[in-house]
Structure 1
Amino acid sequence: MSPRVSVVVPAYNNADYIALTIESILAQTFEDFELIIADHSSTDNTKEVIARYSSDPRITMLDTPSGGGALRNWNRVTEAATGEYIKLVCGDDLLYPDSLLTQVAAIESDPAVTLVASTRDIVDARGTVVVARRGLAGLRGTVRGAVAVRRTVVVGSNIFGEPACVLIRRSTLKKVGLWDSQFPYLIDETTYARVLLEGDFLAVPEPLAAFRISDSQWSVRLVREQSAQASAFHRWLRAEHPAVISALDLRVGNARAWLMSHVRRFAYLWLRRRMNTIDE
């Protein structure tokens, strides 16, 4: 029989953290899951670290040829999944022990729900929590998917969080064509929007995952590109779904996306100084 949940990990150059990620998944209190890991031609020893877990019958290990960006590896692990529900976990993030138990119960409470998300903690390279219970922008319980999509646009940032915070019906994800990378920095948020426009959203207020920040998130270039792609994402939603996103929503969301990109940069710079101070 197929497992209820497929936890899929698209790994790339995660040698420093992938073991912690795998251990957090294997430690779930919900046991009916498979774990599929694909290494995307890493240039460090990620593949060797993953191989340490080859004897666990819950784990399937795959290789993804180089090229194709995140989309190729995210779709690689997702296409291999057999579970009713999908949880994608990046190779440096963490699940808390009751993540699957809580989110499976939530999504199975209502057949109209296509996506469940929780708040998450943001941690530094050492795993220290630097921001707690981040996400959801005040949403609680079940809301229409279109309402949740409008909310993420108006707020100007991804209110659902990184994939580790999210559980998706695999049938709906397949229906919308799997992961959507037309806006590469928003591959998760764009896909969530597609999934949510097919059903309802359920928000779980407790933190069930941890997202690890990295040096790559401190660059000025990245901040500019993320802001530009957020605006493009909003315009695309407005053009495709004018009944969901109004012209005013678009203006407000774009202004807030620009502001949030700069807030994130200042926050990351502060965190870098904080970690450098601790190292000294």
Structure 2
Amino acid sequence: MPAFRAAGARGATGDGGRRHRGRDGGGGRGGRVRTRFCRRSGGRAMSGETSAAPAVSVLMTVHNAGRFLAPAVRSVLAQTRTDFELLVLDNASTDGAVPAWVGAGLDPRVSLERAEQNLGIAAGTNRLAARARGRFVAVLDHDDELAPEKLARQVAWLEAQPAAAGVAARTHLIDAEGRKLGGDFTLPNAAEYRAFTAYSQAANFGSHLFRREWFARFPRREAFPFSSDFDFVARVAEAAEIGVIPEVLFRYRVHGAQTTQRRRPAQIADEVLIRILTARRRAGAAEPMAELPGWRERLAAAEPGRIWLRAARLCRELGLPELAAYHARRAAGAGYPVRAQAAALGALRDPRAARLFFTGPLRTHGLHPWPPR
């Protein structure tokens, strides 16, 4: 493995060059190493971090990224807007992908640190956000890719819209080999974006660019280990506008090893709890954080359809008829139509909840995905 320099380390490789995806814990437990890469560019040696603050900080937490890490990093380095920094947290990876990537040669805009243990996505992102120097921040999963003009287009949009907290874009879905699978839907304006966050993310999280201060105001919450991004955008959308650029600027990779596939039941439970908290906040009530462990236990099941059935019953008990109808609709689509109607029976007396159950949230709320159908 090629040698590399680690700032603040006594040896050439410090602690061995760790990887990303972890939470920090903040106390320096296990130590950390910040690595700065060098390469030769334009006939002169480049090393260390640039003194001027970049416009954008791209945050990437990595845990056993394998072969997908290299194309993800290349997509950042290929940006048409070049005043960025790429902050990578190696979250106690064991697959050797990060050292192999180091050997490919990177530039001084890339900074790598390693966590002793896997901190999780939420805490890992918070750790990197605290180091970010850019006015704007993007978060990139280690298996996804940016379109070359993403940062340029979104920085220009945010500079022209000073009141906006962030901006999203359209997404292409790709497979493990990078082949296009289709398009993800994106709601076309800030009002529709906010409305849909009552149910789910209105655009893929990696398609966004945010102003840095929102990461300080709403840190990713570790209570939602698999859906802290959804929780983040729901809270930000309540406080400020999140705009949408109707162009494909992001590529989301679908493959069997991704967290969305491997931890689907846990992710669904996270999403249910986030919807409940969001409904409470938007009704002017306090967030019942102390109730989350008990609710999570009630939702526990191995099959998505069963989780949605239990969510429908829970939301009905909590006096949230629209969420009861939403989860019952999901359960019906997963093969439980009769039980879903029974689970939402009381809630369906509410006309809006009944419409949501039978037509879905887009039609119920008059929302229009892009492009219009």
Question: Which TM-score bucket, shorter chain as reference?
Answer: 0.7 to 0.9
**What is the distance in 2 between the residues matched to 1:179 and 1:261?**
30
Q: Within 5 Å, which residues of 2 pair with 1:154-233?
A: 156-162=199-205, 164-176=206-218, 178-216=219-257, 222-233=263-274
Q: 1:219 to 1:75 in 2, by over 3 A?
A: closer
**What is the distance in 2 between the residues matched to 1:148 and 1:259?**
25
> Secondary structure at 2:181's aligned position in 1?
strand
> Secondary structure at 2:182's aligned position in 1?
strand
Letter in 1 for 2:282: H
Letter in 1 for 2:204: G
Q: 1:66 to 1:54 in 2, by over 3 A?
A: farther
Letter in 1 for 2:266: E
**What is the distance in 2 between the residues matched to 1:237 and 1:92?**
29
Does the 8 A contact of 2:54 with 2:85 survive in 1? yes
**What is the distance in 1 between the residues matched to 2:237 and 2:209?**
12
> Secondary structure at 1:184's aligned position in 2?
coil
How far did 1:45 drift? 1.0
Does the 8 A contact of 1:227 with 1:261 survive in 2? no
Give 2:63's aligned residue: 12
Q: 1:55 to 1:212 in 2, by over 3 A?
A: closer
Task: Identify the match of residue 83 of structure 1 among 134, 144, 148.
Answer: 134
Q: 1:259 to 1:217 in 2, by over 3 A?
A: farther
CA shift digits 1:87-115 (9 cap, x unpaired): 01111110010110111111112111102
Q: 1:10 to 1:247 in 2, by over 3 A?
A: same
Give the percent of matched residue pairs that are identical in Structure 1 and Structure 2.
26
**Runs (5+) with no aligned partner, structure 2:** 1-51, 286-318, 336-373
Moved more, 48-57 or 194-203: 48-57
Q: Within 5 Å, which residues of 2 pair with 1:44-123?
A: 44-52=95-103, 55-123=106-174
Does the 8 A contact of 2:197 with 2:233 survive in 1? no
> Secondary structure at 2:268's aligned position in 1?
helix
Give 1:131's aligned residue: 182
State the TM-score, normalizing by the size of structure 1. 0.81
Q: How many aligned residue pairs are there?
A: 251
Greater per-residue strand proportion: 1
Give 1:140's aligned residue: 188
Give 1:274's aligned residue: none
Task: Identify the match of residue 254 of structure 1 among 327, 340, 358.
Answer: 327
> Secondary structure at 1:180's aligned position in 2?
coil
**What is the distance in 2 between the residues matched to 1:219 and 1:90?**
12
**What is the distance in 2 between the residues matched to 1:180 and 1:219?**
18
Query: Rg larger in 1 or in 2?
Result: 2
CA shift digits 1:13-34 (9 cap, x unpaired): 0121111111110000111111
Runs of 4+ in 1 over 6 A off after TM superposition: 218-221, 259-262
State the TM-score, normalizing by the size of structure 2. 0.62
**What is the distance in 2 between the residues matched to 1:51 and 1:83?**
23
RMSD over aligned CA atoms reads 2.6
**What is the distance in 2 between the residues matched to 1:194 and 1:201?**
11
Does the 8 A contact of 2:174 with 2:251 survive in 1? yes
How far did 1:252 drift? 4.1
Q: 1:260 to 1:212 in 2, by over 3 A?
A: farther
How far did 1:86 drift? 0.5
Letter in 2 for 1:203: V
Does the 8 A contact of 1:39 with 1:47 survive in 2? yes
* Relative contact order higher in (CA < 8 Å, ≥ 6 apart): 1
